[in-house]
Amino acid sequence: SYVLTQPPSVSVAPGKTATITCGGDNIGTKSVHWYQQKPGQAPVMVIYYDNDRPSGIPERFSGSHSGNTATLTISRVDAGDEADYYCQVWHTGSDLGVFGGGTKLTVL
């Protein structure tokens, strides 16, 4: 099975840039999606197909991927960005979806 590895936690000061990674074998060849989940709420898609943002998601959110790592970057972080973030890919070999373990973003 395909495994996606995320750091359990990332901390950042307000106004700074948060970087959340998602590691997977040749993830650079796959389409990566990212979700934000705040406590008690359903997940929200923030990035799809590597670096596309749905309407309503600020331009501060961006994605990239290369080699074995995908990255979600949140610039000018504010308290409202504090949440869990999950990466997700479609593994064509098994024809199934896979989530990363999630990263808790703390705004100091």
Interacting residues with other proteins (CB under 8 A):
1, 31, 33, 35, 37, 42-45, 48-49, 54, 84, 86, 88, 90, 92, 94-102
At closest approach, how far in Å is the CB of 87 from other proteins? 10
Q: Which is nearer to other proteins, 37 or 69 (CB)?
A: 37
Q: Which residues of 63-92 are buried (b: 16+ CB within 10 A; e: fewer)?
A: bebeeeebbbebeebeeebbbbbbbbbebe
At closest approach, how far in Å is the CB of 62 from other proteins? 15
Q: Which is nearer to other proteins, 19 or 98 (CB)?
A: 98
Q: Which is nearer to other proteins, 33 or 77 (CB)?
A: 33
At closest approach, how far in Å is the CB of 14 from other proteins? 26
Cα dihedral sign for 77, 29, 67, 94? positive
Distance CA 34, CA 43 (A): 10
Pick from 1, 11, 13, 25: which is nearest to 76 by CA? Answer: 13
Q: Which is nearer to other proteins, 10 or 98 (CB)?
A: 98
Residue 34 phi, psi dihedral angles, 5° rounding: -130, 140
